[in-house]
Amino acid sequence: MTQRCGFVAIVGRPNVGKSTLMNRILGQKISITSRRPQTTRHQVMGIKTEGEAQYIYVDTPGIHILEKDRNKAINRFMNQAATQALRDVDCVVFIIDRTRWTAEDQVVLERLARVEAPVILAVNKVDRLKDKSELLPWLESVGARRDFAAIVPIAAKHGTNVPELEAEVARHLPESVHYFPDDQITDKSQRFLAAELVREKVMRQLGDELPYQMTVEIEEFRDEGKVVHISALIMVERQGQKKILIGERGERIKKIGREARLDMERVLGAKVMLNLWVKVKRGWSDDERALKSLGYDLD
């Protein structure tokens, strides 16, 4: 039988369910998720091999409008990372949210105007629609905005119509040898996944401001077989943020560590000894040199 393999970019504005969709397709957690916009900051590759077909999905940061407090170096990096993922892909899945079209959806659509690959529109969270009769007119309305290869209403969290979306993607996979071993599921290292899991727990625990002025760096990752020793540094921009993150008598940082460790043990298949530290580094999120040293590098 002929082998097929192709790259599929998953794009959209922040918080429409891109990472949830990729995790659902892969059947396990590769991209972190939270209710906060801009949870994903890097391109994250998820690889799914079924028989002769290999799908290489690329989860991307949400494309957003740069204005006011969202015009720091890290915001520019995220937009560039998402746009870069559109180069040389075989298919694009563009996700929008139910019957809402926003200015940021329009920005994504305009960027897709320069993409020659077929674009599939995935309308997510349709399970939350109170009036299902609104869906068909809405699909017709958004379908007029571009010549989409297909329009598929989905509920990524529950898996509704996700197999149908995958079938549409499969139609656009070119004939090719597989680029990755059939049992590989991501291109990211275990160190990267560990840092992301800590960051996810912080984002889920804290309020609106801190998550976007916080990053995580793994200082030690020592695999001793049955036990993995991990030391993670959580970096914030102000002393007050450090105090919030640690919490009264250290309770918040303990909870973050406990939840992150349990997820790490599931991902790594080993017992994890996790140490968390909090450090103040002023202005890191708007310092391109600091960002590169922390792994925010398009190369």
pLDDT 10s digits, 224-276: 989 999 999 999 999 999 998 999 999 999 999 999 999 999 999 999 999 99
Residue 294: per-residue pLDDT: 87
Model confidence at 199, in pLDDT bands (50, 70, 90)?
A: very high
Determine the Cα–Cα distance for residues 153 and 171; give it in Å rounded to an integer. Answer: 18
- Which residue has better confidence, 135 or 35? 135
Same-domain pairing of 22 and 103: yes
Supply 237's token pair. Answer: 């921009």
Query: What pLDDT digit, counting tens, does each position of 115-134 carry?
Result: 999 999 999 999 988 888 88
Same-domain pairing of 44 and 142: yes
Residue 261: per-residue pLDDT: 97
Q: What's the whole-model pTM score?
A: 0.91
Supply 142's token pair. Answer: 């958004």
- Which residue has better confidence, 214 or 151? 151
Full domain range(s) for residue 194: 190-294
Is position 75 annotated in a ligand binding site? no
Is position 163 annotated in a ligand binding site? no
Residue 184 included in any domain: no
Same-domain pairing of 27 and 161: yes
Same-domain pairing of 161 and 197: no
Residue 134: per-residue pLDDT: 86
Same-domain pairing of 125 and 250: no
Is position 159 annotated in a ligand binding site? no
Is position 13 annotated in a ligand binding site? yes
Is position 146 annotated in a ligand binding site? no
Model confidence at 290, in pLDDT bands (50, 70, 90)?
A: confident
Task: Please report, rounded to a whole number, the percentage of residues in the chain having pLDDT higher than 90.
Answer: 70
Nearest to 216 by CA among 164, 275, 269, 157: 275
Same-domain pairing of 41 and 136: yes
CB-count exposure of residue 89 (10 Å: 0-12, 13-18, 19+): buried
Cα separations (Å) of 21 from 93, 113, 134, 147, 205? Answer: 10, 23, 23, 23, 22
Residue 38: per-residue pLDDT: 75
Is position 97 annotated in a ligand binding site? no
Is position 18 annotated in a ligand binding site? yes
Determine the Cα–Cα distance for residues 47 and 34; give it in Å rounded to an integer. Answer: 22
Q: Are 95 and 21 a contacting pair, CB within 8 Å?
A: yes
Instruction: Give the Cβ contact number of residue 131 at 10 Å.
Output: 7
Is position 61 annotated in a ligand binding site? yes
Is position 37 annotated in a ligand binding site? no
Same-domain pairing of 125 and 208: no
Residue 248 included in any domain: yes
Residue 259: per-residue pLDDT: 96
Strand partners, 8: 57, 91
Please enumerate in sequence order all residues whose Cβ is within 8 A of that of 18, keeping only pairs 6 or more positions apart, or say none: 10, 11, 12, 31, 40, 59, 60, 62, 95
Determine the Cα–Cα distance for residues 71 and 265; give it in Å rounded to an integer. Answer: 36
Residue 181 included in any domain: no
Is position 176 annotated in a ligand binding site? no
Count of domains forming the chain = 2
Is position 16 annotated in a ligand binding site? yes
Task: Please report, rounded to a whole number, the percentage of residues in the chain having pLDDT higher than 70.
Answer: 97
Residue 37 included in any domain: yes
Same-domain pairing of 212 and 272: yes
Is position 63 annotated in a ligand binding site? yes
Residue 133: per-residue pLDDT: 86
Is position 119 annotated in a ligand binding site? no
Residue 177 included in any domain: no
Model confidence at 211, in pLDDT bands (50, 70, 90)?
A: low
